[in-house]
Structure 1
Amino acid sequence: MDTNSPNNDLVIFAEEVNKRVNVSVAEVDQFLSLWEIREYKRNELILRAGMIPAFSMFVLNGCLRQYVVSDEGRESVVYFAEERHFIGDLPALRNKVPSDFNFQAIEPCRVLVLTKDNWEQSSIRFPWWMEAHIKGYQKWAINMQQQIADMQLKSGEERYLELLKRRPALFQRVPQHYIASYLGLTPETLSRIRKKLTNG
């Protein structure tokens, strides 16, 4: 199957929508008319903190990272978006305020984007989309809360093992220093953890 075909894009997107709400493929196809496909090169910065976001994204192919930068210049990854993941700063997008986040393509990426204007249209023309969005956003918020709690309650090794269990593919496609940043570790500490576990 051609993974870059419009038909395959429809199937992938419809499958993800139907995890949240029950809607026909024909309806999703109409909804996709509000989205457009964009491609980004490896390491390309898609949105820089301080900018007002112009769109939200759904990943068709590739992997992106969402991260913040401290006043001291230290990067902290807060989210990785692989295939079938939504990513963006929707509150900043809808309120037309600068985002605190940076978004970067880790690999060459092919994404669907929904602009602010089309987002407003979608809520009017496709009411089921708001229900789907709310369910997805609630799940994301719960995961973020758990991530914050884990930083305080679990050891670096425990966080590493849990991420390895939940999202093993990340370790094959994301540089180790990004993984370390996401886990709240230094690359050196992550390297020691991996060596310890490998050596038993």
Structure 2
Amino acid sequence: MPEDVLRAIFSLAGAAPSNSNAQPWRVEIVGGSRRDRLADALRAAHAERRVSADYPYPEDMYAPVHQERRAAFGADLYGALGIGPDDHPARAAYDAESIGFYGAPHAAFLFVTGDGGPRLAADVGAYLQTLLLAMTAYGVASCPQGLRSFYADTVRDELRVDEGKLLVGISFGYADEAAPVNQVGTGRAPLEATTTFHG
């Protein structure tokens, strides 16, 4: 991607709101050979199960309704890829592919700075949403990946980052419209299931 497009996108993202304008985020962007070296390091960490998450990710953090939504999405995704529900080796191979940024030419990593607590993570979430919208405005496809945060120490070591907690990584580039994964649509819960109007 052209550097001027990258700079325009990340400049827009930097206009995201935050509590008292603290902007408690640090963003690391990789492309080219640096991206390739990081992908190799992440694949090795994944294969060796060297997990180092700054934020816990217990499976029981989801309520049953959330689990139902996740299962429905997983069925659609793996179905589009021709991977059966019990084909655990194929699912593991797809996870390993995701470690390589799904082939995207660039990745960004969002770190929460300051004390890195959940209150500050909410501000970084606002940055993330603004970043995704900016990418969309420039015709850039993106995929936020929580799996990236499972290997925070690897990312820090490879990029020589010495501050913040890794919240999420985003793979991005111009979409391959012919890829089966890009044919998968994601539904949303009806408004009434998530929103209540008072008064």
Q: TM-score, normalised by structure 1?
A: 0.31
Higher RCO, 1 or 2 (CA under 8 Å, sep at least 6)? 2
Q: TM-score, normalised by structure 2?
A: 0.31
